[in-house]
Structure 1
Amino acid sequence: MKVLVTGAAGFIGMHLCERLLARGDEVVGFDNLNDYYPVALKEARLARLAGHPGFRCVRGDLADTAAVDSLFAEGGFARVAHLAAQAGVRYSLKNPLAYAQANLLGFVNILEGCRHNGVEHLVYASSSSVYGGNAKMPFAEEDAVDHPVSLYAATKKSNELMAHTYSHLYGLPATGLRFFTVYGPWGRPDMAYWSFTEKILAGQTIDVFNHGQMRRDFTYVDDIVEGVLRVLDKPATADPDYDPLRPTPATARVPHRVFNIGASEPVALLDFIETLERALGRSADKRFLPMQDGDVPATYADTRRLEAWVGFAPKTPLATGIGRFVDWYRAYTGR
């Protein structure tokens, strides 16, 4: 089938495009290649896809309504994997308008494109950050997500509400996927695992926030992509058991669903650093600092709904995934 992947030059987007192409789908990628992190990395990802006859890349901005309308009008897409967004929790504290443009206006443009062009299923990236100040663990899709602690999280919660509205009004099948701390080869330089690796190899001090008392549900990128593919192939349906007297964000009486995708194995930050040190064969010089604004102390995914829906949950061990990232990083940077 013909699939639109937004954010195709991104970390998860590139990996998803490769998997779709490998199974014979035709893929159109859409990306603005912004400079939030080095554009050269995004160009290198696209170069991996460029030689495939089933792939075409369109450069444009999600917030450009005319460009998105044109993309859909010419595309004939059966399904859409919407991964493009202005990423980063802490950057949202510094540049909130970028998030309003990309994550809110951009998402409306995607919804309108799907609505007017017969898209069979929209799968879009949400985030574990929507759980915000929740203290109950593990995070379950049924939990209320009304207390975001960053604008980034608020835009992702907004996306879920917006998609539900289009499912209600126009019958658009849509599924939101709450990603939990994705890592792996071709990853993002703004993520801690990349920054730690860079600094450890350079003999520089790494900043360890919340005095090392953080826990994260690190999820390997191949597991994320497998989940996206399986969900993409199973369009959302209305939940016949949905009870409006006991509403839940997870399902609805319209074709909209939300799933966690995480490893379901939260790792203490200091244990994560130790795993990285072993893979690098070097020790880190650590500087312990307080919690950053917009951050949360722990994430932990309950993935039982995902398993019940598509028969899959992430399973790559952290040591395996980190080893693969380190091997790739050394090859990519020559270090």
Structure 2
Amino acid sequence: MPAVKRKAPPTLGAKLQRRVRPRFEAEPDSDVEGSSDEAPSEEEGGGFHTGSDTEEEEDGEIEEGSEPGSDDDSDAPSEHGGAGIDASQLSFGALARAQASLGALKKKKKKKGGDEDASDDEEKEEPNWKTEIEKGMKAKVEKHHRTNKHAPIEMTSRKPVSRRRDFLANEPVKPKSRDPRFAPPGIGGSSGKGVVDEIKARKAYSFLDDYQEDEMKQLRMAIKKTKDPNEKEELQRALLSMESKKKARARKDKERELLSEHKKKEKELIKQGKTPFYLKKSEQKKQLLVEQFASMKKSQVDKAIERKRKKIAGKEKKALPLARRTAEDR
């Protein structure tokens, strides 16, 4: 084999005067990045220098010095595969970059873990929120309590009155037709004007007179059959009350007929151009008495006049002052 020529070893002065380039060391995270960083450094070193003698010597020295570096690179995968990396051989820049990359990874993991925990907490808290909302709705729907069942409901003053007014939505409720016999006094019946329209009600319920006549007949039969005096008195009182109500209704019917006839006559006279004449209550009573006596017999008229005289005399006696006691009375 031919003998290989080797250069003479450089002296100490040449070693001190040579230019030194920094060597890029591989990061501990990935071996591929380290090899890619070292490759361009070597290529740049080969392409950067010129063909001078001194530079060739330096290249030779660098190649000799790179041999242990290649050994280190070859040992790197074995170190990764086996024992851990020796931190004393790494530079401070590599350590700082490794620490920064580890810190970024930890932050990402924390964010992911926090999002998952938050989603789990929200899923757990959803039923709690629902229950709280339902409780709030129930509290609003609860009715106002009263101290006593007979006391009026007290509205809270904390809740403000709404400014919205739905005038079109709140339409007036029309009064329903009802039986005026069972309506309280002062409340309108079918007319709904606040006063019972007696004329219309009398015409609408005129069939009740026949029912009352039948009831009066049944009472008279019951009075004849009963032997108990207490029960007979009660039946007689019921019969008298029904007869008096019947007479009152007949009297009111006559008053209405009288007024209606007078209005008809006055309307005809007004059409002829004459001034209207309105009957007073006193005139109405006089005309009613005249018609009443005209339909009665002479004996009935005398009895009616005598009753009227006694009634008036009793009122006058009540109006007089009490008689004083004199010496003769003593």
**TM-score (norm. length: structure 2):** 0.16
Considering fraction of residues, name the structure with more strand.
1
